[in-house]
Amino acid sequence: MASAAPALTRIESDSLGSMEIPADAYWGIHTARADANFPITKRPISVYPDLVRALAMVKQASARANREIGVLDPERADLIDRAAQRVIDGEFHDQFTVGVIQGGAGTSTNMNANEVITNIALEIAGREKGDYAFLSPIDHTNRSQSTNDVYPTAVKIGLSLTLRSLLDELDLLRRSFLGKAGEFHDILKVGRTQLQDAVPMTLGQEFHGFATTLGEDHSRLTENASLMFEINMGATAIGTGITTHADYAPAVLRHLREITALDLSTATDLVESTSDTGAFMSFSSSLKRNAIKLSKICNDLRLLSSGPQAGLGEINLPAMQAGSSIMPGKVNPVIPEVVNQVAFAVVGADMTVTMAVEGGQLQLNAFEPVIAHSIFQSITWMRQAMWTLRVNCVDGITANRDRLGAMVGASVGVITALTPFIGYAAAAALAKTALLTNRNVADLVVEAGLMSRDEVMKQLSPARLSGLEAVTAAIPIIAPEDLIEI
């Protein structure tokens, strides 16, 4: 007699009724309801792998703490521990299906984690998925916990993990600009303020400035990362710790520190910590700062490479794709442009975080899912933007040495270097003459009898023009009317 075909579904129940769940699904009824209720973004929480890993870390630490304090038997605690480890190792992430934007302050995400880890544990034990009489997503996997301490803790841990990759990419980008600063260290160019010609500098100095500002952002982001280290595990619903053993909070903290290798600490006021989401706002703000400064650098790269004939044309960006469907040969600065757009999105995400933080009410902020999504998205997009900027743009930038040299030679701004020797008034008069007659500044100074040719050329050397070698002297007061007529 042929054996019966395996069941395609299983029945699960909750306080609202029963549902058929695919037999091979590791998620259960709570996840199924969330999938039906929140078809908003079409983006599951699994798009942020570090958030999924962080959820599993919290469940693993809780299982160990519950076993330690005697509120969960060793067999079930071990099964949950082993199941959570498999998720931490990257398995079953496709089972985390609830949308990143959801109502309920993260309850759907917490239940998705509870159900998946429980069913993995049941499978390890040789039992059928959905055998919750033996191992329950709520009574066992969620023991001593509430969404209101699990979710924010997991978000903070997940953000801390994700930030590491952003910081690594940011440092690589900084080093790329630093390498270009060395390559361009001897190339003089005209500096600009308010888009008008200013004093000379080197192209290397300009790129070194880019590297320095990115290094400062690396420091600020690292500092703000510590905001994510204060957690509220043990707070349960609103911070009073109801249903939780007195020894649970210190035990789960100790295990979480070991599992995550993060310098976590338990908030001193769990009621305040459960309701306050200000740390997310501060963290998001530091990301916005980095995005804005990165966008400004990209603006500069687009300006410096503008042309190639009718623009500044000081540098060449790598040609990455054809730039027009109608103008032959046109190549656009597409890599800096996409980084600009990422920056705009990060600014918008920061505003979303700000409003969501403000929208919190009484003992809980119900809008943490959009806070989490906004910050995870910002980190993810910025990391990828930095990668493409480095690999597809900065590493391949070249300098137009001849054009830069010609512009410096024709610039009246170089006379600023001579003001310590001939005075501001004389320099201003000669600069005006140079602009009107299109004459060389050095020639005018020598012809006016103010300095010898050798002295002028010495003071207009690249090292002194760029400020690498600062030399001043007593300034003689020379009135414009005392200048020799040119």
Q: Are residues 315 and 204 in contact, defined by beta-carbon separation less than 8 angstroms?
A: no
Q: Is 324 a catalytic residue?
A: yes
The maximal CA–CA distance of the chain, rounded, in angstroms, is: 119
Strand partners, 196: 193
Q: Are residues 343 and 287 in contact, defined by beta-carbon separation less than 8 angstroms?
A: no
Find where tokens 């700000």 sit: 354
Distance from C-alpha of 125 to C-alpha of 83, rounded to nearest angstrom: 10
Query: Dihedral of the CA atoms 368, 370, 376, 378 (nearest 10)?
Result: -130
Q: Are residues 478 and 426 in contact, defined by beta-carbon separation less than 8 angstroms?
A: yes
Distance from C-alpha of 244 to C-alpha of 260, rounded to nearest angstrom: 22
Which residue among 176, 324, 452, 461 is the active-site one? Answer: 324
Distance from C-alpha of 175 to C-alpha of 181, rounded to nearest angstrom: 10
- β-strand pairing of 230-231 with 265-266: parallel
Distance from C-alpha of 311 to C-alpha of 377, rounded to nearest angstrom: 35
Distance from C-alpha of 294 to C-alpha of 217, rounded to nearest angstrom: 10
Active site residues: 324
